[in-house]
Structure 1
């Protein structure tokens, strides 16, 4: 898929950051429908690849330096209609905090069993499968 969806809107790159048996979730100040808790994410800028955008957005939103490991998958999001990519990341440095107070209200590290309390609908299947493997119950 390209870097834009059918309407020409930039693609969104999400970072699935796992550290010490937990995954990083952020809560946006403005929710997109039922999407309040989600992975750090943002628009892919011109000339940027998806994995780079996921790393950059994580740093901008949470102050955390992460390293992209692999692209998990991509889809058109069923709620927003935006082209989404999901990149598995590991922490390379820093301490997670709400760095972008305009965008984020809070963040949390959650265990696999706790995800459904924050995200009450099914995760994108390849993301769920990735988390099932790296965050063994």
Structure 2
């Protein structure tokens, strides 16, 4: 595991499922091969990964969500950043581009469409969670 430093804080992503779709966001600025990803951002001092996922989702998409459970953590193979993934449920709001400096668009993606958005595959615990949640809802 790489050490987090002040200039490289961990990144927390919210995995938000509603109906039979998962929320994905397209970044304005490509991060390596990443274009589409889950709403995500840096974990701030004093925050847990779950709190950061909830805050970042609100800031980027306007959705109010609550954290359900931490799905896992890893060093991202494409960016080298420490990543945390938190399953969240929608409390209120409609997803939209709330931070147009960071995001170009948002999309609710079906299970079958995930490979089109993330061709290199998802982190295994996230894939397993979505396999259960999205297939059950279809």
**Common fold by TM > 0.5:** yes
Question: Paired residue for 1:60?
Answer: 59
Question: Paired residue for 1:45?
Answer: 44
Aligned with 2:71: secondary structure? strand
Would you say 1:105 and 2:129 are equivalent positions?
no
Distance 1:7 1:68, change over 3 A: closer
Offset at residue 6 of structure 1 (A): 2.1
Distance 2:4 2:66 in 1: 30
Question: Paired residue for 2:126?
Answer: 127
Distance 2:4 2:63 in 1: 32
Task: Report 1:69-84 matches (<5 A).
Answer: 69-84=68-83
State the 4+ residue runs in structure 1 displaced beyond 6 angstroms: none
Task: Report 1:6-45 matches (<5 A).
Answer: 6=3, 8=5, 9-45=8-44
TM-score, scaled to structure 2: 0.94
Distance 1:84 1:48 in 2: 14
Q: Which runs of 5+ in 2 are unaligned?
A: none
Aligned with 2:53: secondary structure? helix
TM-score, scaled to structure 1: 0.95
Whether contact under 8 Å (2:4, 2:10) holds in the other structure is no
Whether contact under 8 Å (2:4, 2:82) holds in the other structure is no
Distance 1:45 1:102 in 2: 19
Aligned length: 134
Aligned with 1:99: secondary structure? coil
Q: Which runs of 5+ in 1 are unaligned?
A: none
Q: Supply the RMSD in Å over aligned alpha carbons.
A: 1.1
Whether contact under 8 Å (2:58, 2:65) holds in the other structure is yes
Offset at residue 122 of structure 1 (A): 1.2
